Amino acid sequence: MVLWMVESFGGSELERTFYIIALMTAPVWLAMILLPGFSPVRHLAKPFILPPCYCLILGLLLWNAFDLSLLPDKELSGFDLDTARNLVRHPITFLLLFCNWQILNLVLGTMMYQKSQSNGFKVPVELLLCWVFGAWALIPFSLRLLVQGKGKR
């Protein structure tokens, strides 16, 4: 479907979908940050339990995009910077990538949470950084593990 049609007729739905994707992992992040010792959080906040559940949302978004023919019509003639840039400018493709980014941040955050729980300390600042900035949170988390001497395990 043509980009202007997607933005003209689906603008409010696209914005709503963006906010849903942005906030879909919020309960998990808030639970890991505010209630790190709570038993259900310890059992559910694992990299291979919750993030795959969110992959269902990504799959649903991808299915709807293909079903409604919302993705760009042009075939990829090759893989270069201009082709990738044009693909990412499409709002549906952006939402798919943003959803994927949220899931990968959650995988990283749950791994950091589990590592901190097994070493007996809390990492609320690092988890907040991971929620907002993603992989950049590995820097303070790794430094903290090295300073505490717990990065060997």
For residue 76, what pLDDT is reported? 55
Q: How many helices (H) and strands (E) does the chain have?
A: 8, 0
What does the alpha-carbon distance between residue 36 and residue 7 come to, in Å, rounded to a whole number?
A: 41
CA distances from 128 to 112, 149, 153 (A): 11, 23, 24
Nearest 5 degrees, angle CA 131-CA 56-CA 35? 40
In this prediction, residue 67 carries a pLDDT of 73
Q: How far apart are CA 90 and CA 123, in angstroms?
A: 36
pTM for this prediction = 0.82
pLDDT at 115: 94
Give the three-class secondary structure for 123: coil
User: With contact defined as beta carbons under 8 Å apart, do 141 and 112 qualify?
Assistant: yes
**What are the phi and psi torsion angles at 142 (to 5°)?**
-65, -40
Query: Can you give the pLDDT at residue 40?
Result: 94
Residue 2 confidence (pLDDT)? 46
Regions of the chain short of the pLDDT cut 50: 1-2, 5, 9
pLDDT on residue 71: 62
Residue 74 pLDDT: 56
